[in-house]
């Protein structure tokens, strides 16, 4: 059977349309969902991500406020700003774009955000709730992945999912999501990382293989079970002098090599990337609903 190319752009558009309807409903009840995005410094990738988040808000009917700071802003000033946003009842979501400059403690900044406004799902309270299966705000990128799989008509329950990577942003929350009960989960879960021995042995067992390593084109065909669903979370810039920008985007999966073996696969770009922003829109309306106790 031909390999299914999972169209992240199309599924993200569906989810954004749902978020737009949910935002309209809140607006009709007198609540204008509002997301504040904080950008520190000049990292070009971070600037691009923040730009796409703000644009998506406008298209979804969510008010967005972008706050930018020079890279040398003090941690104390950033903390003060978070305190102000936590106290502002018109703000429902607060997102501090990571990574932060080296002089800041990312964990401390993350913990300062009110968990009920933590649309990234990075606060330890939300991490803990996710791990024990209590409804909460969950990280956007991993939360979008079961949506992509299930909306592509692929069953997840009972499958063996193998996650490569153990970051706090993707790998660990991905494991927590996949192991829960429910039709968008209920998987047997393995997590591989830099300490894993015989990585290929594990990846070859995967019905669902999720690559979140940060190494361009790391996953090759001989690491994949024929017919597996392969989800590529990587977004790596590699030099390409034939492009006007001087680089191209590739994933953590060698697409040309793996596509003939996989049953379904996400492309880069146009796979997981657009889903992250779509799930941020969902999380922002969810936060607005929870904070204002509207359902
Ligand atoms: N940097 C890379 N991914 C993310 C994300 O999902 N949220 C934030 N805040 N920063 C990031």
Whether the pLDDT of residue 167 is over 60: the answer is yes
Active-site residue flag, 53: yes
Specify the fold of 31-116.
Answer: Rossmann fold (3.40.50)
Q: Is the peptide bond before 265 cis (omega within 30 degrees of 0)?
A: no
Mean pLDDT of the chain: 97
Domain boundaries, the chain: 31-116, 140-273
Say if 31-116 and 140-273 have the same CATH topology. yes
Active-site residue flag, 20: no
Task: List strand residue ranges (DSSP E) for the chain, in order.
Answer: 4-5, 34-40, 63-69, 93-96, 160-164, 188-192, 208-211, 229-232, 236-239, 247-250, 264-265
Top mutation candidate among 41, 45, 46, 49 for ligand 1, by most atoms within 8 Å of CB: 49
For domain 140-273, give the CATH number.
3.40.50.720
Task: Tell me how far the alpha carbon of residue 100 lies from the centroid of ligand 1, in angstroms.
Answer: 10
- Residues touching ligand 1 (Cβ under 6 Å) are 95-98, 120, 140-141, 169
Residue percentage of the chain with pLDDT more than 90: 98
Whether the pLDDT of residue 295 is over 80: the answer is no
Task: List strand residue ranges (DSSP E) for 97-228, in order.
Answer: 160-164, 188-192, 208-211
Give me the residues paired with residue 210 across strands. Answer: 163, 231
Q: Which atom of ligand 1 is nearest to the CA of 169?
A: 6
Q: How far apart are CA 60 and CA 37, in angstroms?
A: 15
Model pLDDT for residues 14-73, shown as the tens digit of each residue: 999 999 999 999 999 999 999 999 999 999 999 999 999 999 999 999 999 999 999 999
Q: At what angle do helices 171-179 and 124-131 cross, to 10 degrees?
A: 30
Confidence of residue 1 (pLDDT cuts 50, 70, 90): confident
pTM of the predicted structure, to 2 decimals = 0.97
Instruction: Give φ, ψ of 141 to 5 degrees.
Output: -65, -55
């Amino acid at each position: 059977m031909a390999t299914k190319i999972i169209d992240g752009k199309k599924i993200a558009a569906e989810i954004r349309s749902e978020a737009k309807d949910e935002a309209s409903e809140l607006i009709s009840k007198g609540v204008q969902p509002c997301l504040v995005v904080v950008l520190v410094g000049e990292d070009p990738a971070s600037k691009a991500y923040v730009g796409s988040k703000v644009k998506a808000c406008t298209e979804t009917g969510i008010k967005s406020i972008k706050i930018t700071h020079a890279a040398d802003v003090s941690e104390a000033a950033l903390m003060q700003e978070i305190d102000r946003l936590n106290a502002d009842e018109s703000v429902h979501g607060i997102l501090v774009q990571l990574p932060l400059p080296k002089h800041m403690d990312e964990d401390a900044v993350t913990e300062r955000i009110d968990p009920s406004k933590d649309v990234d799902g990075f606060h330890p309270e939300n991490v803990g709730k996710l791990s024990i299966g209590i409804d909460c705000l969950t990280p956007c990128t991993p939360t979008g992945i079961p949506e992509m799989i299930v909306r592509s008509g692929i069953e997840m329950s009972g499958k063996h999912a193998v996650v490569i990577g153990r970051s706090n942003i993707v790998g660990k929350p991905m494991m927590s999501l996949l192991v829960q009960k429910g039709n968008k989960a209920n998987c047997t879960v393995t997590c591989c990382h830099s300490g894993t021995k015989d990585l290929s042995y594990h990846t070859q067992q995967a019905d669902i293989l999720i690559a979140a390593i940060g190494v361009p084109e790391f996953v090759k065909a001989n690491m994949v079970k024929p017919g597996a669903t392969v989800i590529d979370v990587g977004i790596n810039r590699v030099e390409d002098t034939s492009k006007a920008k001087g680089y191209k985007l590739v994933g953590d999966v060698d697409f040309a090599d793996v596509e003939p073996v996989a049953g379904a696969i996400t492309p880069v770009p146009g796979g997981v990337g657009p889903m992250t922003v779509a799930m941020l829109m969902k999380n922002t309306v969810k936060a607005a609903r929870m904070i204002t106790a509207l359902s």
